[in-house]
Amino acid sequence: NAGLTDVREAVAGSLSAESGVKLSADHVVMVCGAAGGLNITLKALLDPDEEVIVFSPFFVEYLFYSDNHGGKTVIVPTHEDFSLNFNELRKALSPKTKAVIINSPNNPTGVVYSRAMLTELAEVLRQHTSDTGNPVYLISDDPYKKIVFDGVETPNIMELYENSIYITSHSKDLALPGERIGYVAVHPKCADAESLMSGLIFCNRVLGFVNAPALIQRAVKNVQDVSVDAEMYRKKRDFLYGELTRIGYSVVKPQGAFYLFPKSPIKDEVAFVQKLAEKKVLVVPGRGFGSPGYFRISYCVPDKVLEGSIHGFENAFSEAMK
């Protein structure tokens, strides 16, 4: 089923207040985390060979989710600062485009898409829908939405685009990484909204999730407007960003989540990641996120771990520049 009715009502109430769009329990499906939500959504939406657009760098599993359900992933590059590149998006859109996935704050960059950027994105998709007669669904994968810094706004896409599907997980905003609990919410004016909701509920079963765990549904019911204290992540960001730029790394300062995505000082970032590993610093190569030449750092670790990594970052950089 779609989940416990009272839990879905609580989710709908919170999301309605945030987005300004009136939702009810009938627009919400409780799921086994955002990964479960994305899989049932793409299963419900995609016909064979239809296209799903993602912006690079992207969460590495998106490619597999599209492939799971017969879709083709189309990768659109972003600008140097990781902001959305609308010229490239227009080139990528086709009559086969079924959905666009965004993730803001972004994993792996920590970049947040501004209201102006999302407004333009919505307009581009509306124009494409008008030109082709085929609705394009905008899927917003938002598990980091509440983890932002410096007063940055994270608009809800439902405010801006009717063919929108909002997906989130509480593993990040409540710091419950072992608990796979989240939801999918469909805009009430979304194309084929009623059929889509039926499809989501059905796909939740046939993909083997069946239901989101009932006990943890109860646990999150009354904490829909609660989040971890983002200030602790901001302090970690400021420390690590300051140290990396002091050393000489080129990196866009993140506005949310808990990642940094620096440029590798050498072209082959896999080789540089190996060099860091030799210094006992563990990071992830950027090519898995669709952006070779970069690497991802996760700073949701104790402060002493961050402090202990600086020597390794500094030595690896010095060796790479010789």
Residue 176 has what pLDDT? 84
- The domain spanning residue 28 has which CATH number? 3.40.640.10
Same domain, 171 and 316: no
Residue whose C-alpha is closest to residue 38's, from 168, 170, 163 = 168
pTM of the model: 0.96
Q: Total structural domains in the chain?
A: 2
The answer on 273 and 214 residing in a single domain is no
| Radius of gyration in angstroms for the set of CA atoms belonging to the chain, rounded to a whole number | 20
CATH code (residue 308): 3.90.1150.10
Which tens digit of pLDDT belongs to each residue from 214-259?
999 999 999 999 999 999 999 999 999 999 999 999 999 999 999 9
Average pLDDT, the chain: 96
* 79-112 pLDDT tens trace: 999 999 999 999 999 999 999 999 999 999 999 9
Peptide bond into 265 cis (omega under 30): no
Residue 258, amino acid:
F
CA angle 37, 39, 41 (to 5 degrees): 70
Between strands 182-186 and 28-31, the pairing is: antiparallel
- Edge to edge, the sheet with strand 137-141 lists 28-31, 182-186, 164-169, 137-141, 97-102, 51-56, 72-77
pLDDT (tens digit, 9 = 90+) per residue, 46-73? 999 999 999 999 999 999 999 999 999 9
- Residues of the domain holding 133: 5-221
304 shares a domain with 197? no
242 in the same domain as 196: no
Tell me, yes or no, whether 91 and 63 share the same domain. yes
User: For the segment 14-44, what is each residue's pLDDT rounded down to a tens digit?
Assistant: 999 999 999 999 999 999 999 999 999 999 9
Residue 153, CA distances (Å) to 76, 87, 117, 118 in order: 24, 24, 12, 12
The angle at the Cα of 73, spanning 212 to 146, to the nearest 5 degrees, equals 45
Could you say which DSSP state residue 174 is in?
T
Which of 221, 241, 257 marks a domain boundary? Answer: 221
pLDDT on residue 1: 84
Which tokens sit at 29?
A: 């499906």
Q: Which two tokens stand for residue 53?
A: 């657009």
- The secondary structure of residue 57, as a DSSP letter, is S
Give the domain-ending residue among 186, 221, 256.
221
Q: Are residues 137 and 158 in the same domain?
A: yes
pLDDT at 30: 97
Confidence (pLDDT) at 179: 85
State residue 177's pLDDT score.
80
Q: What is the DSSP string of 3-71?
A: --HHHHHHHHHHHHHHHS----GGGEEEESHHHHHHHHHHHHHPPTT-EEEEEES--TTHHHHHHHTT-
What pLDDT score was predicted for residue 105? 97
What mean pLDDT is predicted for residues 260-274?
A: 98
Distance CA 303, CA 298 (A): 12
- Shared domain for 173 and 266, answered yes or no, is no
pLDDT in tens, 153-180: 999 999 999 999 999 999 898 988 888 8
CB count within 10 Å of CB 95 equals 11
- For residues 116 and 241, membership in a common domain is answered with no
Do 191 and 45 share a domain, yes or no?
yes
In this structure, are 167 and 33 located in the same domain? yes
Q: Which two tokens stand for residue 35?
A: 């990964």
What is the pLDDT at residue 59? 96
**72 shares a domain with 44:** yes
Q: Among 191, 221, 251, where does a domain finish? A: 221
Spatial distance between the Cα atoms of 119 and 124, rounded to a whole number of angstroms? 9
Is there a single domain that holds both residue 133 and residue 153?
yes
Contact between residue 261 and residue 57 where contact means Cβ atoms under 8 Å apart:
yes
Tokens of 228: 């971890």
- Which whole number is the average pLDDT over 122-144? 96
C-alpha distances out from residue 134 to 96, 99, 159, 224, 312, Å: 9, 11, 21, 34, 51
